Structure 1
């Protein structure tokens, strides 16, 4: 009986280790935020450059003509806003593709929130969004869900939640 308990305990321990090693680094799911406000007073004070990579899911629509915007920032009120990242003529946001954008905005500390905004009728399902900045570690937000129309949708992990940093 003792050998069986040890074997079961070993299997359980191994299963827990595997589960945690493959767990999604962001503990929460993306959510709608109806009260999200853009901080438009600081948007033109762009002294920092960011590279944003957006991977569209392979289960998304083939392409989208929807208008896609992005906003991200830190816990100190520094916010970067990028209106209209979409460009259907350049095949932006096609299924199974990764698009890279250079965005300028205020300098941030650790990026802890990111929201996407979609306006249109086609639909769009991003897989993940990674932001690289000069003064901040790269951070990845995992979506893998269709973005609702007409509302900011994403993550706010500024209150101590885990974020995947590359």
Structure 2
């Protein structure tokens, strides 16, 4: 089948338009970013009481971070259905958590999630801290790693959101 020059050009333009449109609608980012509109979900109490799961977090502090931090560090992660695990304080200034080149492990309980698609950290204080990565192990879920390798800004949620909108309802 022979295509004319005009048809070939139209096909190329359609393909280019589709490619640009699909790229423009993507909301995921491979780099962590400030999330000024992020808010902790306050309606998780009933869900947590009904179905609670255990999570293991492994947080590696970058070798280019400050020697240690006394800053308050919070974490929130969850899925596209709104199930969220939140820990208001991971830090412990009297211990040696979040030292340069260290790896710290935490056990958290929270609502059972589907695939974890977002993770955010909040640092409040004056020392500074640069996490290299955060790994989350959950029940019946594959390990997921979020690579930060950036100093966290002070007083704002900072992280990743790879969630896609979910349509319909979910039975928990």
Whether TM exceeds 0.5 here: the answer is yes
Q: C-alpha distance in 1, partners of 2:70/2:161?
A: 27
Q: Which of 30, 33, 52 is 2:32 aligned to? A: 30
Q: Provide Cα deviations, 1:84-113, integer angstroms capped at 9, x if missing partner.
A: 100021100000000000000000011000
Aligned-pair distance for 1:150? 0.2
C-alpha contact 1:50 1:102 (8 A) present in aligned 2: yes
Q: Provide Cα deviations, 1:106-132, integer angstroms capped at 9, x if missing partner.
A: 000110000000000000000000000
Q: C-alpha distance in 2, partners of 1:153/1:135?
A: 27
Aligned-pair distance for 1:43? 4.6
Match of 1:114 in 2: 119
Aligned-pair distance for 1:49? 0.3
1:152 aligns with 2:161: no
Q: C-alpha distance in 1, partners of 2:29/2:126?
A: 30
Q: C-alpha distance in 1, partners of 2:72/2:54?
A: 22
The gaps in structure 1 that reach 5 residues or longer are 1-25, 161-166
**How well do the aligned residues superpose, as a CA RMSD in angstroms?**
1.5
Q: Between Structure 1 and Structure 2, how many residues are aligned?
A: 135
The gaps in structure 2 that reach 5 residues or longer are 1-27, 166-172
Q: C-alpha distance in 1, partners of 2:103/2:41?
A: 28
Q: Which of 63, 85, 99 is 1:94 aligned to? A: 99
What stretches of structure 1 move > 6 A for 4+ residues in a row?
Answer: none
Match of 2:12 in 1: none
2:43 match: secondary structure: helix
Structure-1-length-normalised TM-score: 0.78
Structure-2-length-normalised TM-score: 0.75
1:65 aligns with 2:48: no
Q: Which of 27, 40, 43 is 2:42 aligned to? A: 40
